[in-house]
Amino acid sequence: MHREKAKIKQGWTRRAPAGARVLAAVLLAFTARAWAESGTATRELTLYEEPRAESRAMGKLAKDAKFELVKRERFWALVSSSGPAGAQRGWVQSFYLTWADTPTGNAPSASRGLAEIVGLGARRNGNVTATLGVRGLDEEQLKSARFNAEELNKLEGYGVQAPVAARFAAEVPLEALKLEYLAAPAASVGAGAAGGEGGR
């Protein structure tokens, strides 16, 4: 039985089409690139021992400091950086980070398939719009739009009443909570400088 399995495995390797081997190599290359993802802090940040603001502060990551991503958890990033004081490592929240070497404009995340990373999901990408015949939006197109009663009727037909939505939420279940809206920050220190008009 064991030998049979080995034989099958060996057979697959030998018979693997050249395309699959190339694909495997590309996958490895892209995966390695994702691991080596690097970025910059847009302001001075506290490095935490764990991905929680209540955990122990390990030091500071200076504004404009370069770092390498080690791993992510929710909206936290474990980063390592080598500065004047030597190598540093700790968790920071992702609000104030910009990223370099982003091959497709997508964040590496557990929920994203490898196919998408290597472009096998290219149908999803905006740059194949033309081949799919799906229109993009531009201002001229918007300005010249004419009222479409048929589509509006369809849209209104999809609407649901609150009890339907509540049953839908109960399937998960999602539990409604009471909490206040967040106040506007008094002054956004460096936030504007972080992005600028042109974005990144």
Partner 1 sequence: MMRKTIGTVLLAALLTACLPAAQAQGFGNLLRQIAPALPVPGLAPQPAQRQGAPLALPNLSETSPEQEVAIGKQLAGDLLGAVPLVKNDAVQAYVNRVGRWVAAQSERPDLAWHFGVLDTMDINAFSLPGGYVFVTRGLYQKLSNEAELAGVLGHEISHIVMKHHLKVLEKSKLVGVASSLLSSQVSSRNALGNAVAQNLLGNGAEAVARGLDKDAEYEADRMGVVLATRAGYEPYGLPEVLEKLARMKPGDDGMALLFKTHPAPQDRLGRLGDAMQNKLDRYGNGKTVEARFAASSGAINAAR
Among 1, 18, 87, 184, binds partner 1 (CB under 8 A): 184
Q: Which is nearer to partner 1, 17 or 185 (CB)?
A: 185
CB of 62 vs partner 1, minimal distance in Å: 17
Q: Check binding of 55 to partner 1 (CB under 8 A).
A: no
CB of 25 vs partner 1, minimal distance in Å: 25
Q: Check binding of 22 to partner 1 (CB under 8 A).
A: no
d(CA 62, CA 44): 5
Task: Give which of 117, 67, 113 is closest to 92, Cα–Cα.
Answer: 67
Q: Check binding of 87 to partner 1 (CB under 8 A).
A: no
Question: Hey, which residues between 99 and 158 contact partner 1 (CB under 8 A)?
Answer: 99, 102, 105-107, 109, 111-112, 123-129, 132, 134-139, 141-149, 151-152, 154-156, 158
Q: Check binding of 161 to partner 1 (CB under 8 A).
A: yes
DSSP string of 74-134, one letter each residue: TTEEEEEEEETTEEEEEEEEGGGEEES--SSS----TTS-HHHHTTTTGGGSGGGHHHHT-
CB of 13 vs partner 1, minimal distance in Å: 32
Task: Give which of 30, 97, 42, 44 is closest to 69, Cα–Cα.
Answer: 97
Binding-residue total with partner 1 (CB under 8 A): 85
- Within 8 A by CB and 6+ apart from 132, the residues are 123
Q: Check binding of 185 to partner 1 (CB under 8 A).
A: yes
Strand segments, DSSP code E, in 23-65 are: 38-41, 45-48, 57-61
d(CA 76, CA 93): 4
Question: Hey, which residues between 56 and 85 contact partner 1 (CB under 8 A)?
Answer: 74-75
d(CA 158, CA 32): 44
Q: Which is nearer to partner 1, 13 or 161 (CB)?
A: 161
Q: Check binding of 176 to partner 1 (CB under 8 A).
A: yes
